[in-house]
């Protein structure tokens, strides 16, 4: 269970974590993050949390691969059965019926065959052909009903979202003011942000094998939880690694002296910064996939009175598109 382990890391976060100062430079900001994340005594707990997130990510990634294979099989089956069912692929990917409401080719074929054989007085068993005609109609209905098969990845995301509902109050607390909580938030995205930067620091060490052991599944699991909790924007704004990358860009751009390497200002941090860039690209890829395969409705809304006081936060439940297709109890 991740919940008690995440709670342990939340309790170890400082009471206040502000935005990293640009004037501190990369070196100062990395040192400041280490001071904030006082998880030195919780190395085993961090490892267990990362492994738990990795398991979630591995399952979702495997579901994505399985979904890709199933879609290929569906395409092959469609190519084989579409001519018999009288179906055509539309320009936008939709399936069109070429018969305009009439019988499909396979049904028409067996019906005409049955009529011809039954009308023949020498037919030894006309009832058999009538049965074949009925079976052709049944096969036509069954194939058409199963053309639009569900996505196993969307099912997995829907179940994950439903499982996260019980932890929303602990992992995604609603700010009292209704505005984004920058300094005192202990939401899941803040915990994962700390795990990510420490994981990246370990991965660039010469003798570290953390990436070989955990791989990209950590990003798949962590970003999926962040997305389903509605914290993607918060994560992209306040993630420690992203902030350091922004500071590195400003610091590198400030070096305008001639005959100087443009990376002079961040010298010594090249490996870590490159690892952060790769992590950001991977996170963006996962978020893009999630938006395409699991679109969420607007989760929160906030208005401000003319006096400047915020209205009470209006909260909408996350609605996963695939959730409507899940089997219901008693169905």
pLDDT computed for residue 242 by the predictor: 93
- 312 pLDDT more than 80: no
Q: pLDDT confidence of 139, banded at 50, 70, 90?
A: confident
Q: pLDDT confidence of 40, banded at 50, 70, 90?
A: low
Give CA–CA dist 41/21, Å, rounded.
27
Give CA–CA dist 112/49, Å, rounded.
66
Between 276 and 314, name the one with better pLDDT: 276
Q: For all residues of the chain together, what is the average pLDDT?
A: 78
Scan for tokens 């639009």, then name that residue: 148
Q: Side-chain half-sphere of 151: how many Cα atoms within 13 Å?
A: 19
Helix (H) or strand (E) holding 302: none
- 262 pLDDT more than 50: no
Question: How much is the average pLDDT of 315-320?
Answer: 48
Over the stretch 226-237, which tens digit does the pLDDT of each residue have? 999 989 988 998
Give the lowest-confidence range in 4-18, 22-36, 105-119, 169-183: 169-183
Question: How much is the average pLDDT of 292-313?
Answer: 58
DSSP letters along 46-101, please? HHHHHHHHHHHHHHHHHHHHHHHHHHHHHHHHHHHHHHHHTEEE-TTS-EEETTTT
Q: What percentage of the chain has pLDDT greater than the value 70?
A: 76
Question: How much is the average pLDDT of 277-306?
Answer: 77
Question: How much is the average pLDDT of 238-249?
Answer: 91
pLDDT computed for residue 305 by the predictor: 53
pLDDT computed for residue 205 by the predictor: 76
**First and final CA of the chain: distance in angstroms?**
30
Question: How much is the average pLDDT of 126-150?
Answer: 78
pLDDT computed for residue 137 by the predictor: 84
pLDDT computed for residue 134 by the predictor: 86
Could you tell me the two tokens for 28?
Answer: 């100062």
- Facing residues of 301 across strands? 314
Question: How much is the average pLDDT of 11-40?
Answer: 83
Could you tell me the two tokens for 165?
Answer: 């509902």
Look up the pTM and report it.
Answer: 0.71
User: Hey, which of 56-65, 213-222, 256-265 has the most confident mean pLDDT?
Assistant: 56-65
pLDDT computed for residue 196 by the predictor: 93
Question: How much is the average pLDDT of 310-325?
Answer: 47
pLDDT computed for residue 295 by the predictor: 84
pLDDT computed for residue 191 by the predictor: 92
Between 205 and 65, name the one with better pLDDT: 65
- 87 pLDDT more than 70: yes
């Amino acid at each position: 269970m991740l919940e008690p382990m995440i709670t342990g890391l939340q309790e170890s976060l400082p009471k206040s974590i502000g935005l990293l100062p640009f004037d501190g430079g990369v070196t100062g900001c990395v040192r400041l993050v280490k001071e904030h994340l006082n998880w030195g005594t919780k190395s085993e707990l961090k490892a267990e949390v990362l492994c738990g997130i990795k398991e979630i990510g591995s399952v979702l990634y495997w579901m994505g691969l399985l979904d890709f294979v199933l879609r290929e099989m569906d395409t092959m089956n469609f190519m084989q059965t579409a001519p018999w069912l009288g179906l055509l692929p539309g320009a936008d990917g939709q399936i069109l019926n070429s018969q305009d409401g009439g019988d499909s080719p396979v049904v028409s074929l067996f019906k005409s065959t049955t009529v011809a054989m039954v009308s023949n007085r020498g037919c030894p068993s006309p009832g058999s052909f009538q049965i074949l005609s009925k079976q052709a109609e049944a096969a036509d209905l069954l194939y058409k009903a199963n053309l639009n098969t569900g996505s196993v990845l969307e099912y997995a995301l829907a179940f994950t979202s439903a499982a996260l509902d019980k932890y929303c109050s602990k992992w995604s607390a609603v700010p009292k003011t209704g505005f984004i909580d920058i300094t005192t938030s202990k939401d899941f995205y803040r915990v994962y942000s700390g795990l990510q930067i420490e994981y990246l620091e370990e991965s660039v060490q010469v003798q570290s094998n953390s990436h070989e052991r955990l791989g990209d599944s950590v990003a798949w699991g962590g970003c999926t939880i962040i997305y389903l909790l509605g914290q993607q924007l918060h994560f992209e704004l306040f993630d420690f690694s992203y902030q350091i990358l922004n500071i590195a860009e400003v610091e590198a751009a400030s070096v305008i002296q001639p005959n100087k390497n443009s990376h002079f200002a961040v010298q010594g941090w090249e490996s870590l910064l490159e690892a952060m860039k790769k992590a950001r690209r991977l996170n963006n890829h996962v978020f893009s996939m999630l938006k395409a395969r699991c679109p969420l409705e607007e989760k929160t809304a906030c208005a401000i009175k003319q006096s400047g006081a915020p209205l009470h936060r209006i909260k909408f439940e996350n609605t996963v598109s695939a959730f409507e297709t899940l089997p219901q109890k008693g169905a």
